A and B are shown apart, each in its own frame.
Chain A
Amino acid sequence: MRRTMLYLPGNNPNMLLRGHLFGADGLILDLEDAVARSEKDSARVLVREVLKHREFDGCEVTVRINGLDTEFWRDDLAAVVPYGIHGVRVPKVETPQALANIDDALSAIESAASVPVGATKVFCLLETALGVWNAYDIALASPRVTAIIPGGEDLAADLRTSRSKEGVELEWARRMMIVAARAAGVDALDTAFPRVTDEDGLRRETEFTKQLGFDGKSVIHPNQIPIIHEIYDPTEAEIESAKKIVAAARDAAARGLGAVSVDGRMVDLPVVRRAEFTLERSGAMTERGRA
């Protein structure tokens, strides 16, 4: 479940040690944009030490490394991968070839550190037009790829436009991301909503991107988390209806029937799948007691 993945500045011990308390599904310990060039080394050490603590309360833990066009990314990987993180978030991925480089580097570090090779997943940030265009190939370039994420500010700039309140400039890239992710069998995660005090704006954007099909959204402020969860969490009525559908489908399968009827309405396979997905979400929701 990746409804929310919270960015934590890699140079802020206060947030790094407490980020898991805010109820996000995942954490992104950020070595890239949140950290000034002069602080890259110290942030890397800090993030490594926090990873050693291993206190993340069941959150999926990832690290955003510096871009493949910088001198930092290999050191970043070497510092964090040995501590068994779930994945790395790689900025500005443009081509499948980039994945090959990452893949090699990760495998070498994993085998040296006795981490199962392939255990570290890759979340690809597609922050340029070229990256978005190659989304499907990138998603398939390595079995490590688990999600693709469209860029926000960077992508808007690369498209020679700027971010608007309505987000029209990102709309096509977002739709493209869903199609590519589903075709490749990975998650589609949306970019963060930048205006942290605009709760209505966040709500509108999340409702829209959830409807497009996104699995979740990056988060840059803890106060955004409950709003996004509220939108993603199924309502009581949806859960009840899903329970009925799944039960009816199981009953029909047991009796060797093809078609199922629930409350006088025919239910086919996609509807059953969606109901199962709803239950999966609600189950995970109560299990972790998240707000």
Chain B
Amino acid sequence: MALNAVKRDIPSYIEGYGKTEEKLFAGAFARKPEGFSAGKRLRSRTPNDSTKFLGSIKEAIAASGIKSGMTISFHHHLRNGDFIVNQVLDECARAGIRDLTIFPTALFGVHKAVIPHIQNGVVRRIMGSVNGPIGQLVSEGGVEIPVVLRSHGGRPRAVIAGDVRIDVAFIAAPTADIGGNISGRAGKSACGALGYAFTDAEYANCVVALTDNLQHYPIAPISIPGIYVDFVVQVGSIGDPSGIVSGTTRVTRDPLRLLIARHASKLIEASPYFQDGLSFQTGAGGIPLAVTAFMKEAMKRRRVRGGFGLGGITGYFVDLLKEGLLKKLMDVQSFDQEAIESISSDPRHIEISADWYANPWNSGAAVNQLDVVILGATEVDMDFNANVNTEADGALLHGIGGHQDTAAGAKLTIIAQPLLRGRIPCVVDRVHTVTTPGEVIDAIVTEFGVTINPRRQNLIDACKETKGKDSVPLVPIDELAMRAKRMSGLMAPIRQADRVVGVVEWRDGTVIDVVRQIFPENISS
């Protein structure tokens, strides 16, 4: 056991993960890469080679050479509408393949069909976010090898650095041609950007594109060129459109969330970053969407023209682009129909890969240019550490997403969250799991006001200068924690076993925390 830089006890050896001594989290920007990026199998295709196109997943599994014990990857752009993960695993099971490591960019509720494959030994290890029923299974110790959680930037870093070798990448492709060129912009299963699939396409030893919209060569525009793609498979349907895109999300009418959003918006307005060229990321949750709406109001009022919007893109950001309040959108994942239409038609709406978006080990990811990000968390603590992975009962139910990357990159990182969820406090003395260290979190915004990290005296000063209607109500962190305690009472400590069921990596590949097995009676959900 050894303490890392956020004072977490990390076992020196984790069964199924390995030694941690050289990989203890040492600070947000402490670990620097050495050497060269990983390579991949060389391949060639000769003219008149017609073996690239296949008619079924079964044929693709045979052609790709998957064997027991290999690592296969998936992207999550089809979200809860995805048919591919389940179909591929079903076919692997039929082919007698076992002990697979699955390496998805994220899993959703629809992937609970993976559970039987875990139980019958087809899947032995998950590297990627787990949530819902799979998260519950992992938390209770139902998966033999610990899951490894990586951020959207940490995952491509791990691939490029050679921490993870992908044997076969299965890429759901809303549109593809017989040469293997891929796009997410068109087709009945259109999803817009394909940001999370790029690194897998570039680094996997075998790349299989699965499409339900096969076009003549070449399609245009192309997201992932066919030079990376070994096989193209035509299937009946890659996904359910109703699970892929949401309808237009409306700004919440919940007064509490609106209040939090208004506080956050005032903080941004008071900050030195609220000026022409302002770049920001707000995501798709209720509070962030409302912050976007309030910021739009403030930008119009103060005649501020923003720079770019980043991350998962919604119709709200598209509106900001159309109205000239933002100049560009950098889109790793398109959340709704408006975003898909915009990325398909507006050259100012740029598709970026997860590597480009958030990887700490390249020559400068987009997050490094970010001024402001609004994030959530299940809990934050007195050191401003944030937990986005585990719930109040200790269950591992959420992935990291871009949380670590945007927090590290942005000049102003805001966690906007009600003080309590139900009777559960969101501000505590010590978070159960550290996902993102307090050194990169600048402010916590609750319905009670704005709590600024004491490291950011310039922000505190800026808020103190605000007056009247624009005044930012400041609440010190100890007062906030005390309020939470008074309202909720003390929480009973979570009973957990020693066994590690999850490893949370910081975006640079160091271990920031581990998640331990909990007992079923803890689980309330």
Name A's B-contacting residues (CB within 8 A).
Answer: 14, 17-18, 21-22, 53, 197, 221-223, 286, 289-291
Contacts and interface: CB of A to CB of B under 8 A. Distances in A.
Nearest to A233: B469
B468 A223 contact: no
Given A17-B487, A18-B447, A21-B447, A222 B468 contact: no
Interface stretch (B254-262, B348-356, B379-387): B254-262
A22 B473 CA distance: 12
Contacts of B487: 17
Contacts of B448: 21
Contacts of A197: 253
Contacts of B253: 197, 223
Contacts of B473: 289
B119 interface: no
A223 B447 contact: no
Contacts of A222: 255, 258-259
B468 A286 contact: yes
B254 to A, nearest CB: 9
B82 to A, nearest CB: 36
Nearest to A53: B486
Contacts of A286: 467-468
A221 to B, nearest CB: 7
26 contacts: A14-B256, A18-B256, A18-B447, A21-B256, A21-B259, A21-B447, A21-B448, A22-B255, A22-B259, A53-B486, A221-B255, A222-B255, A222-B258, A222-B259, A223-B255, A223-B258, A286-B467, A286-B468, A289-B467, A289-B468, A289-B469, A289-B471, A289-B473, A290-B469, A291-B262, A291-B469
Interface of B is mostly: helix
Contacts of B258: 222-223
A289 B262 CA distance: 14
Nearest to A222: B255
A21 B253 CA distance: 16
Q: Which of B447, B469, B473, B486 has the most CB of A within 10 A?
A: B469
A197 B252 CA distance: 12
Interface string B151-177: 000000000000000000000000000
B contact residues, range: 10 to 19
B269 to A, nearest CB: 13
Q: Which of A14, A21, A197 has the most CB of B within 10 A?
A: A21
Contacts of A290: 469
A197 B262 CA distance: 19
Interface string B461-499: 000000111010100000000000011000000000000
Contacts of A53: 486
Given A21-B259, A53-B486, A290-B469, 5 more contacts: A18-B447, A21-B447, A22-B259, A223-B258, A291-B469
B124 to A, nearest CB: 44
A14 B420 CA distance: 9
A195 to B, nearest CB: 13
Contacts of A289: 467-469, 471, 473
A192 B204 CA distance: 64
A290 B487 CA distance: 25
A283 to B, nearest CB: 12
Contacts of A14: 256
B446 to A, nearest CB: 10
A105 to B, nearest CB: 32
A190 B199 CA distance: 63
A67 to B, nearest CB: 28
A64 B255 CA distance: 22
A291 B255 CA distance: 14
Interface string B235-256: 0000000000000000001011
B426 to A, nearest CB: 14
Contacts of B486: 53
Contacts of B467: 286, 289
A161 to B, nearest CB: 30
Contacts of A221: 255
Contacts of A291: 262, 469
A182 B23 CA distance: 76
Contacts of B255: 22, 221-223
Nearest to B471: A289
Contacts of B256: 14, 18, 21
A6 to B, nearest CB: 10
Contacts of B262: 291
B344 to A, nearest CB: 34
A225 B256 CA distance: 13
A282 to B, nearest CB: 10
Q: Which of B253, B255, B447, B467 has the most CB of A within 10 A?
A: B255
B441 to A, nearest CB: 23
B447 to A, nearest CB: 5
Contacts of B468: 286, 289
Contacts of B469: 289-291
A22 B254 CA distance: 12
A17 B425 CA distance: 14
Contacts of A21: 256, 259, 447-448
A111 to B, nearest CB: 31
A21 B258 CA distance: 11
A88 to B, nearest CB: 25
A223 B258 CA distance: 9
A280 to B, nearest CB: 17
Interface string B288-307: 00000000000000000000
Q: Which of B262, B447, B468 has the most CB of A within 10 A?
A: B468
A203 B507 CA distance: 50
- Which A-B residue pairs are the 4 nearest by beta carbons? A222-B255, A289-B471, A21-B447, A291-B469
Nearest to A285: B468
Nearest to B258: A223
Interface string B431-458: 0000000000000000110000000000
A236 B259 CA distance: 25
A244 B313 CA distance: 51
B423 to A, nearest CB: 9
A217 B273 CA distance: 39
B130 to A, nearest CB: 30
A17 B256 CA distance: 12
A53 to B, nearest CB: 8
A21 B420 CA distance: 14
A21 B262 CA distance: 12
Contacts of A22: 255, 259
A286 B466 CA distance: 12
B167 to A, nearest CB: 50
Nearest to A290: B469
A191 B341 CA distance: 47
Nearest to A23: B259
A56 B258 CA distance: 19
Nearest to B487: A17
Nearest to B466: A289
B486 to A, nearest CB: 8
